[in-house]
Amino acid sequence: MTRRIIVDTDTGIDDAHALLYLAGHDDVELTAVTAVYGNTPVDSAISNIARVLELAGRPNVPVARGAAGPLVGEAHIAFYVHGHDGLGDIWDDRPAPANLVEQSAAQLIVELVRANPGELDLLFLGPLTNGALALQIEPDLFTLVRSVVVMGGSGPFPKLGDVLMVDANVQNDAEAARAVFSAPRTHLLQVGVNVTAQAIVDEAATDRLRSSGTAWGEFSARILDSYNEFYRFAWGRRLSPAHDTLAAALLLHPEWITRSVTGPVTITGDGYVSRAHIAQTWEGAPLAWQTDDAPPTVAVVEVDFAAFLADFERVLTSR
């Protein structure tokens, strides 16, 4: 059965991998790709979508321009992670999509979902601003789709002593995250930094991509160079997590989820970091404060990373 997916993306390095990964599955239809700010400004995100769709052999997928900043406040752009163009600053040109539509990202999402009730999956790979704007147009949006998958959030509150990676997609627009995680839905899966930080593409995997002799593999390795350069200061090695591709993979392969927890999501902020946590401690106990009611979200806690990483390499060296 063909999965029909709308991808909302702030097209940085791991987003580009995720788009290629989805395009590498014959049973996936990229129904549309919508752009948002985050890893890079929204116009760079659009150019990067065009570059990846051309490489993937799917240049005519509809593309829409989305939000250039959060619902409240100013955009924070991760130039220091993804480069000024979002893909490591290794090209001089800025291609335009072959099929850039007139509608905004939110308008296109709502239009497609209303026209295809129960048939589409929504995959959010960047800040959730476009999702929140779409919900303003159609508050029941998430009840009209097959599923919603969010790369963002942090799962349940962590074990004592654990330190989580920054939850950038929630950090960029906590108000949009609150709207998304509180909206009525059919099924919403949170693939948070609590698991994506463990989906490590190491030096050997990068070398195999580079030496694959395929256009996809060489492209994937080339853009990884910038990402690995950033993450060497985290782990002392030139490797990086496949954040967004893991979310895409778990949309297609939910059997790789080996443990999850389900409950309402609470948005927390300490004045520096905002997160979207399932409202329970690691042990499953209630929190030390009263949280707002929200529909249940399924948060991934453990994954078959060996199966995912093998498929990551297989697909990204296949074309």
What's the CATH code of the domain at 264?
3.90.245.10
pLDDT value for 272: 83
Each residue's pLDDT tens digit, 220-231: 999 999 889 888
Instruction: Report the C-alpha gap between 24 and 75 in whole angstroms.
Output: 32
Q: Nearest to residue 157, comparing CAs of 254, 298, 286?
A: 286
Q: DSSP letter string over 79-121?
A: HHHH-TTSS-S--S-----TTEEEEEHHHHHHHHHHHSTTTEE
pLDDT value for 64: 98
277 part of the active site: no
Q: Nearest to residue 210, comparing CAs of 225, 196, 198, 200?
A: 225
Q: Nearest to residue 36, comparing CAs of 24, 48, 46?
A: 46
Give pLDDT tens digits along the chain (319 positions): 899 999 999 999 999 999 999 999 999 999 999 999 999 999 999 999 999 999 999 999 999 999 999 999 999 898 888 988 999 998 888 888 989 999 999 999 999 999 999 999 999 999 999 999 999 999 999 999 999 999 999 999 999 988 889 999 999 999 999 999 999 999 999 999 999 999 999 999 999 999 999 999 999 999 999 889 888 988 899 999 999 999 999 999 999 999 999 999 999 988 889 999 999 999 999 999 888 889 999 999 999 999 999 999 999 999 8
Q: CA 36: distance to chain centroid? A: 11
pLDDT value for 46: 98
Q: Give Cβ neighbours of residue 102 (< 8 Å, ≥ 6 apart).
A: none
Q: Give Cβ neighbours of residue 90 (< 8 Å, ≥ 6 apart).
A: 83, 222, 223, 225, 226
User: Which residue in the block uniquely carries the two structure tokens 């619902």?
Assistant: 71
Q: What is the pTM of this model?
A: 0.97
The number of domains in the chain is 1
Q: CA 113: distance to chain centroid? A: 19
Virtual CA dihedral for 139, 29, 300, 206, nearest 10 degrees? Answer: -140
pLDDT value for 93: 86
How many Cα atoms are found within 13 Å in the side-chain-facing hemisphere of 48?
Answer: 36
Instruction: Report the C-alpha gap between 170 and 193 in whole angstroms.
Output: 10
Extended beta strands in 161-317, E state: 188-191, 200-201, 240-241, 257-263, 265-269, 274-278, 297-303
Each residue's pLDDT tens digit, 156-168: 999 998 888 999 9
Residue type, 194: N
Q: Nearest to residue 105, comparing CAs of 113, 95, 96?
A: 113
* Candidate list 17, 82, 243, 277, residue with the active-site label: 243
pLDDT value for 293: 87
Instruction: Report the C-alpha gap between 26 and 305 in whole angstroms.
Output: 22
Per-residue DSSP letter, 141:
G
Question: The domain containing residue 216 runs over which residues?
Answer: 3-316
pLDDT value for 118: 97
